[in-house]
């Protein structure tokens, strides 16, 4: 039992990557190891052998302290892009007294989600975006760039904007911005 979200089909149509959270009290196992950590992790369902009903599951991330969501395939088998609050770079760059520091959202309710990439085995996780609000919903464009939504909430500014970046986090650029006057719906500028 658990919650699944954010399914994305591979370029060849034989796999589906998604995020799933199941309680650590769930006794399911994969390869003799507990399958559930109580946090959102990235999973893949492979239908290459066995088809839709007899495919195999594998967990790509196994975090017990962080949440990994919004996965998408990178082209040419280069792995995945996803949103995570693990903040692999920013927590070490902003260490306070030797202790890792995690950026919290504006209301100090939760750690912010930033974009990360990993290779096809789930290793070599790298943070590619830095935002004091959340970076979510990455989509890979036909040219290989990543398009994503960014919540920009600083002082009176409260808007969702659409950005693009290269898979290594370089060449970031805003494609579209919208702002929220008061509590109304988002409107284009």
pLDDT at 189 over 50: no
48 within 8 A of 12, measured Cβ to Cβ: no
144 within 8 A of 183, measured Cβ to Cβ: no
Tens of pLDDT, residues 44-71: 999 999 888 899 989 999 988 899 999 9
Helix (H) or strand (E) holding 12: none
pLDDT value of residue 65 = 87
For residues 31 and 12, the model is more confident at 12
Q: How far apart are CA 119 and CA 131, in angstroms?
A: 23
pLDDT at 188 over 80: no
Q: How confident is the model at residue 186 (pLDDT cuts 50, 70, 90)?
A: very low
Average pLDDT over residues 135-158: 88
For residues 74 and 52, the model is more confident at 74
- DSSP 8-state symbol, 90: H
Tens of pLDDT, residues 137-148: 999 999 999 999
Q: What count of residues does the chain have?
A: 189
Residue whose tokens read 């719906």: 185
60 half-sphere exposure, CB direction, 13 A CA radius:
29
Among 28, 40, 96, 88, CA closest to 68: 40
Q: How far apart are CA 48 and CA 50, in angstroms?
A: 6
């Amino acid at each position: 039992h658990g919650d699944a979200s954010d399914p994305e089909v591979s370029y060849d149509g034989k796999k589906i990557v998604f995020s799933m959270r199941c309680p650590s009290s769930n006794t399911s196992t994969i390869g003799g190891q507990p399958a559930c950590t109580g946090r959102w992790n990235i999973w893949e369902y492979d239908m290459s052998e066995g088809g839709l009903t007899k495919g195999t599951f594998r967990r790509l991330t196994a975090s017990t302290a962080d949440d990994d969501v919004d996965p998408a395939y990178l082209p040419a088998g280069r792995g995945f892009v996803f949103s995570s609050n693990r903040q692999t770079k920013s927590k070490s760059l902003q260490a306070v007294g030797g202790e890792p520091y995690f950026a919290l959202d504006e209301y100090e309710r939760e750690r912010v989600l930033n974009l990360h990439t990993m290779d096809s085995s789930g290793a070599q996780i790298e943070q590619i975006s830095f935002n004091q609000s959340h970076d979510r919903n990455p989509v890979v464009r036909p040219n290989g760039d990543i398009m994503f939504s960014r919540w920009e909430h600083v002082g009176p500014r409260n808007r969702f904007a659409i950005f693009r970046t290269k898979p290594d986090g370089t060449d970031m650029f805003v494609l579209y911005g919208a702002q929220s006057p008061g509590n109304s719906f988002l409107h284009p500028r």
